[in-house]
Amino acid sequence: MRIAVTGANGQVGRALQQMARSGEDAVIPFASAALDVSDASAVRDTLVPLAPDCIIHAAAYTDTDACEVQQERAYAVNAFGTGYVAAAAAAIGCPLIALGTNYVFDGERDAPYDEFDLPNPRSVYARSKWAGEIAAARTGAHLLVVRTAMIYAEEGRNFVRTMLSLAERGAPLRVVADQWGQPTYATDLARGLLALARQPIPGVYHLTNTGKASWYEWAGATFRMAGLTPEISPVPASDFPRACMPPRNGVLANRAAAKLGITLPPWQDALHRCLISMGRTDQE
């Protein structure tokens, strides 16, 4: 398959390119600097003549706190941009896989959220991403929305790399223990996205590594696997007020992709493999 990927320099975009190099698919990458998805003409003129077999739309404005003060940019990229990419996919007649987020849910209940639960976004970031899902659906594109959570990889700005860096400084750490989600390794997510591209049944999908963890549990597992022993204390999210608070319960249930035989490994296994790839653990 020839798969066009927006946001190709992000964690998921890079993982998709790596997957393609080792498999049968050909990824045609478009970094955000090369293709501004908020420019409707640029999106149409770039993607429509290319006529890929599938588009994976990974470009997004993901600085959740900055979205609160840069609302125009958040909607331009996450809402209008997603609609423009979907319109191009509709013109081509190819499937579009658009990455979504667990932030579209308010996180107020204790049970995981499945693909049939109604979103209730509480932040500009969440509302702009939900608006992108709506905009894409209205184009009539062959659309697969894939919501995910807590993405990390060997490179880029992410929680695992931040925790390792802080631990090496030797200062005591305080990590939020009352917000839960699913740490998701970009490599595993990319593999799942490519699997969906091969059987692109339209709909909403939830795709994360399985299991759940608080930020505190995730940090603790990272330190144990990396052989680090920093002083770490669990604290409530209220100790770290933010412009955009993550959902208290951001856990997603995978029903739709699982029906197609697509599930991702447990988050602990994924974290271990990532740390080995980073050269941060000798464990086998």
Best CATH choice for the domain 2-152+183-210+252-264 from the list 3.50.50.60, 3.40.50.720, 3.20.20.105, 2.60.120.480: 3.40.50.720
- Given a cut of 70, whether residue 147 has pLDDT beyond it is yes
Q: In the chain, where are the structural domains located?
A: 2-152+183-210+252-264
Identify the sign of the CA torsion 125, 130, 135, 136.
positive
Confidence of residue 25 (pLDDT cuts 50, 70, 90): confident
Q: What is the pLDDT of residues 154-169, one digit of tens each?
A: 999 999 999 999 999 9
Exposed / middle / buried, residue 70 (Cβ in 10 Å: 0-12, 13-18, 19+):
middle
Report which DSSP code applies to 9. Answer: T
Q: State residue 6's pLDDT score.
A: 98
Q: Quick one: CA torsion of 125, 16, 187, 145, rounded to 10 degrees?
A: 40
Residue 157 burial (CB count, 10 A): 12
Q: State residue 283's pLDDT score.
A: 57
Q: What angle do CA 4, 37, 247 make, to 5 degrees?
A: 95
- Given a cut of 90, whether residue 105 has pLDDT beyond it is yes
- Given a cut of 80, whether residue 194 has pLDDT beyond it is yes
Confidence of residue 42 (pLDDT cuts 50, 70, 90): very high
Dig out the tokens for 111 from the structure.
């049970």
Strand 213-214 versus strand 180-181 pairing type: antiparallel
Alpha carbon distance 53, 55 (integer Å):
7
Q: State residue 22's pLDDT score.
A: 76
**Are 101 and 58 within 8 A, CB to CB?**
no
Q: Quick one: CA torsion of 83, 88, 91, 96, rounded to 10 degrees?
A: -80
Rounded to the nearest angstrom, the gap between the alpha carbon of residue 151 and the centroid of all alpha carbons in its chain is: 5
Q: What is the pLDDT of residues 203-231, one digit of tens each?
A: 999 999 999 999 999 999 999 999 999 99
Q: State residue 207's pLDDT score.
A: 98
Q: What is the pLDDT of residues 53-88, one digit of tens each?
A: 999 999 999 999 999 999 999 999 999 999 999 999
- Given a cut of 80, whether residue 115 has pLDDT beyond it is yes
Residue type, 267: W
Taking residues 262-272, what's their average pLDDT? 98
Alpha carbon distance 2, 21 (integer Å):
12
User: What's the residue count for the chain?
Assistant: 284
- Given a cut of 90, whether residue 131 has pLDDT beyond it is yes
Question: What are the catalytic residues?
Answer: 125
Exposed / middle / buried, residue 170 (Cβ in 10 Å: 0-12, 13-18, 19+):
exposed
Which distant-in-sequence residues (6+ apart) come within 8 Å of 259 by Cβ?
none
Which distant-in-sequence residues (6+ apart) come within 8 Å of 212 by Cβ?
112, 180, 181, 182, 251, 267
Q: State residue 24's pLDDT score.
A: 77
Alpha carbon distance 105, 179 (integer Å):
13
pTM for this one? 0.96
Residue 22 phi/psi, 5-degree rounding, is -100, 5
